[in-house]
Amino acid sequence: MKKYFVIGNPISHSLSPKLHNFWFRKHNLNAKYEKLLLEKDNLNKIVQKVKTGEISGLNVTVPFKQLIIPCLEKLSPEAQNTQSVNTVYLENNKLVGHNTDIAGFELAIRHIKFDTSNKNVLILGAGGVVPSVISALKNLNTKNIFLMNRTKEKAQKIREKLEYIEIVDWGDIRDFDMIINATSLGLNKEDDLGLNFESIKKKILFYDLIYNPKETKFLKSARQMMHIVENGKMMFIYQAHQSFTLWHKVMPNIDKETITIVSE
């Protein structure tokens, strides 16, 4: 039986096993997918198990998406450009790191038919996932991409490679059309960004990359202000779908049943 893992720390919130195992059953694949809480010191040990074939593939989440890179032998262009890996597999006996977060976010925005080509989009945060979100927004021909992070230096570091983005001060809420929470704040239900969005008078899209909990404080307050709100569920499904297709050469349907699995 082929074995797959999602590695991270923390990892308890991950719904990847639920989704991948559901698709295994749907497609009669003899495989098992589990989550693994990992300490940094054990990262290379796990990756080496992909090399020996003991493990057939890994998904990688916070805080290992960048840390895993030195353990790998080849990066896809997407992983190289973002310095972020969320999918690992063996190809021609080489350990390959790929990034399916970019496609995941892009397809999630396409899924809701939100056209960003005439939009001012603000991203909150400058952690590991942010270069992927920026790449996806670029693929979507977004008009203007703004980046705001509590620690401004980290946002500036991202801009060094992606000069087309504009850095804004923490709290400088302008006339944005879409605001994306890409910080880790919200994983605990009571987490509060401490930002005030009341100056935004028109109806805009608030998007939270977090999908568990379903409604972060960020989304709840936006909903109460009558904005459009989306959590990271579809991004999560699409990035998983991309990994699944890569590993198994099978494309599961993303139907109501699939979405329900993640929503339960």
The binding track of 242-261 with respect to ligand ATR, each residue x by CB under 6 A or -, is --------------------
The answer to whether 82 and 146 have CB atoms below 8 angstroms apart is no
- Specify the amino acid at residue 69: I
Instruction: Name which of 42 and 156 has its Cβ closer to ligand ATR.
Output: 156
In the complex, least distance from residue 21 CB atom to ligand ATR, rounded to whole angstroms: 25
d(CA 5, CA 26): 19
Of 123, 129, 136, 234, the residue at the interface with ligand ATR (CB under 6 A) is: 129
Can residue 125 be called a binding residue for ligand ATR (CB under 6 A)?
A: yes
- Sequence-ordered list of residues with C-beta below 8 angstroms from that of 29, at least 6 positions apart, any chain: 2, 23, 248, 250
Q: Tell me which residues are annotated as active site.
A: 65
Of 3, 63, 80, 245, the residue at the interface with ligand ATR (CB under 6 A) is: 63
The binding track of 185-224 with respect to ligand ATR, each residue x by CB under 6 A or -, is x-------x-------------------------------
Touching ligand ATR, residues 149-178 (CB under 6 A):
149-151, 154
Can residue 59 be called a binding residue for ligand ATR (CB under 6 A)?
A: no
Can residue 126 be called a binding residue for ligand ATR (CB under 6 A)?
A: yes
Instruction: Name which of 56 and 134 has its Cβ closer to ligand ATR.
Output: 134
Of 116, 183, 243, 258, the residue at the interface with ligand ATR (CB under 6 A) is: 183
Q: How many residues bind ligand ATR (CB under 6 A)?
A: 15
Q: Which residue is nearest to ligand ATR (CB)?
A: 127
Q: Which residues bind ligand ATR (CB under 6 A)?
A: 62-63, 125-129, 149-151, 154, 183-185, 193
